């Protein structure tokens, strides 16, 4: 995203946050988007988080070759890695692929089939009607998904560790409850909030300014996912630097 695009992105966001024409209709759209982003992604996030947690436990156990390090550390490392990095970032990248491409292609198709022009002719603020509900749903539901992901990732670690015998249930439970710092949850939720904004606003921008036809819509979807992923990783670093 060069500076011109960044300027257009900011102007689009400014237009999206104008006062809605009718709050009731926007609220309905927000709930629809919350259902799409939240409930629609729950299965995928659950599966990914559980397996990542399980694999994490096995890999940490594999690297703990010294008898001087207690096995309870497996639970602690898994907990902190899941909360601080894996759940927010991996979830966000997966959601950027799933939701980002859907948002970009939906809005892009509306652009090339003149549906956005139709909204504007009617006197409706198209960025507000199309983008604002998605952003509000994103910054609400991505943190919820991240919390679910954290729980499932830690739970997956328990299952992976105990089923494989890499760590006992008691050691793992002791590990995840020792020296827990609740501030890590705050950091993760700040990340989730930022990622939720990126996952919805960047693809919306890419779709909104599509010119051409089906090929350009597909290219915009690809670009939306790539730019979202890079933005997520960059913001991940910035938030971590600022808050830890």
Contact between 30 and another protein by CB under 8 A: the answer reads no
According to the binding rule CB under 8 A, does residue 35 interact with another protein?
no
Q: Which two tokens stand for residue 198?
A: 């990126």
Nearer to another protein, 117 or 183 (CB): 117
Angle value at C-alpha 33, between 108 and 125, nearest 5 degrees: 55
What does the alpha-carbon distance between residue 17 and residue 132 come to, in Å, rounded to a whole number?
6
Is residue 123 at the binding interface for another protein, with CB under 8 A as the rule? yes
| CA gap 220, 207 in Å, rounded | 6
Restricted to residues 210-229, the positions that interact with another protein (CB under 8 A) are none
User: What does the block give as tokens for 56?
Assistant: 């994490």
217 vs 233: CA distance, rounded Å: 24
Structure tokens, 165: 């015998």
88 vs 207, beta carbon nearer another protein: 207
Indicate whether 22 belongs to the interface with another protein (CB under 8 A): yes
Site mask for another protein (CB under 8 A), range 100-119, x = bound? ---------xx--xxx-xx-
Write out the binding residues for another protein, residues 44-73 only, by CB under 8 A.
none
Binding residues for another protein restricted to 137-156, rule: CB under 8 A: none
- For the record, the structure tokens of 11 come out as 């102007």
* Contact residues for another protein, defined by CB under 8 A: 15, 21-22, 25, 109-110, 113-115, 117-118, 120-125
């Amino acid at each position: 995203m060069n500076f011109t695009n960044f300027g257009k992105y900011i102007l689009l966001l400014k237009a999206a946050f104008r006062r809605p024409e009718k709050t009731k209709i926007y609220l309905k759209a927000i709930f629809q988007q919350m259902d799409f982003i939240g409930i629609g992604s729950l299965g995928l996030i659950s599966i990914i988080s559980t397996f990542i947690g399980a694999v994490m436990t096995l890999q940490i156990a594999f690297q703990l070759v010294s008898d001087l390090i207690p096995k309870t550390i497996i639970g602690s490392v898994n907990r902190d890695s899941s909360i601080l990095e894996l759940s927010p970032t991996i979830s966000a990248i997966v959601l950027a692929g799933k939701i980002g491409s859907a948002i970009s292609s939906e809005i892009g198709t509306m652009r090339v089939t003149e549906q956005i022009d139709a909204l504007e002719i009617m006197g409706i603020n198209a960025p507000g009607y199309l983008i604002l509900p998605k952003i509000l749903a994103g910054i609400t539901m991505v943190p919820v998904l991240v919390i679910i992901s954290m729980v499932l990732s830690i739970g997956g670690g328990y299952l992976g560790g105990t089923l494989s015998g890499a760590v006992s249930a008691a050691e793992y439970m002791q590990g995840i409850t020792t020296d827990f710092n609740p501030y890590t949850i705050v950091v993760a939720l700040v990340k989730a909030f930022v990622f939720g904004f990126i996952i919805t606003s960047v693809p919306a921008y890419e779709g909104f300014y599509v010119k051409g036809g089906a090929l350009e819509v597909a290219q915009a979807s690809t670009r939306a996912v790539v730019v979202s992923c890079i933005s997520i990783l960059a913001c991940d670093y910035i938030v971590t630097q600022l808050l830890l």
